[in-house]
A and B are shown apart, each in its own frame.
Chain A
């Protein structure tokens, strides 16, 4: 076995035999699952909210009922959004227990309860319609929950239309006809081979966008979760004074390569465990899942295998890992203690948060000029190139960004080797790094024995 593989094997076994690794392996999907499902579970498990409308007539009340029915009938099978936004809680209209805001206040505060089919319950909100020309008052203790307020506003738009049209002599039948004559606005894509023929947008069309967001997130998450191992592993070797023994058996580039390889395999282990776990769980629960969902998941799975996604994603994954892995490895070699490393972690984590922020932008608009511009920043290219691929960027841009990544990786590996050598062989520390940077500034000569680097 070559020295690189021996170093990689030792480091890998060192990582996987630590209890922290198994904790992360098992807890991470659990925590992520809770994070993703929490809004949905919270919405589905929360109790029905009772509200009332105080109105002299019933036009607004009817409009609110219609709006509630409309929204309940809407399907929202947008996979990524379902997890992010959750679904509406159930709103149930009850007869007003009182007519004025002062009397209603006790019900809204929970001091008095309203009779419902499920027994006495507190009142969540009250809408008071004073007169046709005045404002509609929305009273609730929970002013952060905007859903019922939105429903009320939408209902009032219809009531106002009815009132104005009626005043203009338009019959209610004509208004209904006008509403039923509204055309649907359907999202379509231009067919590439159909001579301008437009085709309805399906999940198959949206899958590359969803998958690219998912892959970029996986890359970010893996880098975020494993580079820490490199940092801590290097600090351990430095504090254990083991470099001299190692460097008489392996060359420094071999040592670095072995270490990077170990953590790369570690990240692949995590990915393989989580992927196979997800597939197994899906397979076990396939009979319980809605029939459409399995088909949707297979569409997403097939989208990953598209060469235009998979190719750049694999290159970005490897190069992105090497860039950040080498950075953390080099910085770890300058630290004697975990406390020293922690001072470095904050700026690095802030740096790693930028691509995560770009991911949130991509969820709304993957073609955002901000993503295109930021994808030229070498440290972010691995994440953002993956995001951009479904938008069919010009080929020259893809090739140029791949070249930027390769050059950046080479440069950072070279730099990291020098820093690692300074830290591992010469015992240089963070203070020496500062002096080394100062030396790069023309005309400045550092003071002190920093030339060891």
Chain B
């Protein structure tokens, strides 16, 4: 376990009574990466992140932050935004950011200066001395994000950072995360909104039913689903029959025809083939693979495996 590696999880498992929340999770977050930690609700993302922070102890396996088990020294290099948001309602944003920065080791003066700078950067200076109970939900969430950033951590762990934010604030948060990454911070954030991960992440870790179902780059993730093209031809024309001699399979999908692409195949080759075969093409639309499709595929597979496993278990018990 290298001291430079922000997070390394080896075969970590965690159960709550009979419910297995995380099952033998292996994961590495390398320095400078932005990792999207994806999965449906109840997949075990928050439990994994809480284990990574040492808030929960794993039942088995090992976890290291910067080469050491999570402890107050290593956690000083980490900024954390929990899934369940909460602030002291009677404190002001400035007081809260200063407090958390001080808990992370900053001096009183440095913490205050940092709080002022962050509030200014997010346009919250006017609300710096108002009680949190008077802030809107979005503003309070921004303040909470600032508490995670206050001590300029090397590693940011953000649990569902976009939930509860309107599109404008989601965009602002994306920019903030990208800014932290440019500063040199490593970031991992959990979400089930794929678009954020597509825009921000170098690497994707996907979980379902407590198990890791994918771990790799965004490109590799997108390659796990088949790309296709959608072709529109004159009404009544049999595109499948026309392309069959060319070794291309077209499937009718309502008014359109869909042709699956081989992993490295250029969509233009299909268009050229169709024209050469004399098909009256009126429109042609290549469909790029989306992370949403990857997510649905992998999670559906995991769910199916889980259902099958459950049936086997029940049958064995019977």
Contacts and interface: CB of A to CB of B under 8 A. Distances in A.
Nearest to B56: A425
A167 B197 CA distance: 115
Contacts of A448: 17
Interface in B72-104: 72, 75, 78, 80, 82, 84-91, 99-100, 102-104
Interface of B: 16-19, 50, 53-56, 72, 75, 78, 80, 82, 84-91, 99-100, 102-104, 108, 144, 147-148
B108 to A, nearest CB: 8
- Name, among A6, A10, A242, the residue most crowded by chain B CB atoms within 10 Å (CB to CB): A242
Interface in A164-220: none
A244 B55 contact: yes
Contact of B86 (A6, A10, A242, A251): A242
B295 to A, nearest CB: 26
- Name, among A14, A236, A248, the residue most crowded by chain B CB atoms within 10 Å (CB to CB): A248
A264 to B, nearest CB: 20
Contacts, number: 74
A425 B56 CA distance: 7
A245 B82 CA distance: 7
Interface in A241-274: 241-242, 244-251
A368 interface: no
B16 A449 contact: yes
B103 A249 contact: yes
A425 B90 CA distance: 23
Contacts of B72: 3, 249-251
A14 B90 contact: yes
A245 B88 contact: no
Contacts of A237: 86, 88
Contacts of A6: 99, 102-103
Contacts of A251: 72
A245 B16 CA distance: 21
A411 B64 CA distance: 32
A55 interface: no
Nearest to B82: A244
Nearest to A245: B82
A23 interface: no
Given A6-B103, A452-B16, A248 B84 contact: no
B42 to A, nearest CB: 13
- Name, among B17, B85, B108, the residue most crowded by chain A CB atoms within 10 Å (CB to CB): B17
A249 B75 contact: yes
Interface string A19-57: 000000000000000000000000000000000000000
Contacts of B148: 245
Nearest to A249: B103
Contact of B55 (A10, A239, A425): A425
B89 A245 contact: no
B17 A450 contact: yes
A451 interface: yes
Given A1-B102, A249-B104, A244 B80 contact: yes
Given A6-B102, A450-B17, A248 B86 contact: no
5 contacts: A17-B90, A241-B86, A247-B55, A248-B75, A449-B18
Contacts of A75: none
Interface string A223-248: 00000000000001101111011111
Contacts of A10: 88, 99
A249 B100 contact: yes
Interface in A330-372: none
A449 B17 contact: yes
A242 B80 CA distance: 12
Nearest to A14: B90
B103 A250 contact: yes
Contacts of B86: 237, 239-242, 245
Given A240-B88, A242-B86, 5 more contacts: A1-B102, A242-B88, A425-B55, A425-B56, A449-B17
Contact of B17 (A14, A17, A249, A451): A451
A14 B99 contact: no
Contacts of B103: 3, 6-7, 246, 249-250
Contacts of A17: 90
A8 B53 CA distance: 23
Nearest to B147: A245
Contacts of B147: 245
A18 B102 CA distance: 23
B215 to A, nearest CB: 24
A432 to B, nearest CB: 11
Contact of A449 (B19, B50, B53, B100): B19
A448 B91 CA distance: 38
A453 B159 CA distance: 23
Nearest to A254: B72
A450 B16 CA distance: 8
Given A244-B55, A249-B100, A249-B104, A451 B16 contact: yes
Nearest to B70: A248
Nearest to A240: B86
Contacts of B16: 426, 449, 451-452
Interface string A67-107: 00000000000000000000000000000000000000000
A239 B86 CA distance: 8
Given A245-B100, A449-B16, A240 B55 contact: no
A238 to B, nearest CB: 9
Contact of A240 (B17, B19, B89, B108): B89
B113 to A, nearest CB: 17
- Name, among A14, A244, A250, A448, the residue most crowded by chain B CB atoms within 10 Å (CB to CB): A244
Contacts of A250: 72, 103
A418 to B, nearest CB: 13
A138 B90 CA distance: 64
Contact of B84 (A18, A244, A452): A244
Contact of B53 (A242, A248, A426): A248
Interface string A425-453: 11000000000000000000000111110
B90 to A, nearest CB: 6
Nearest to B108: A1
A261 to B, nearest CB: 15
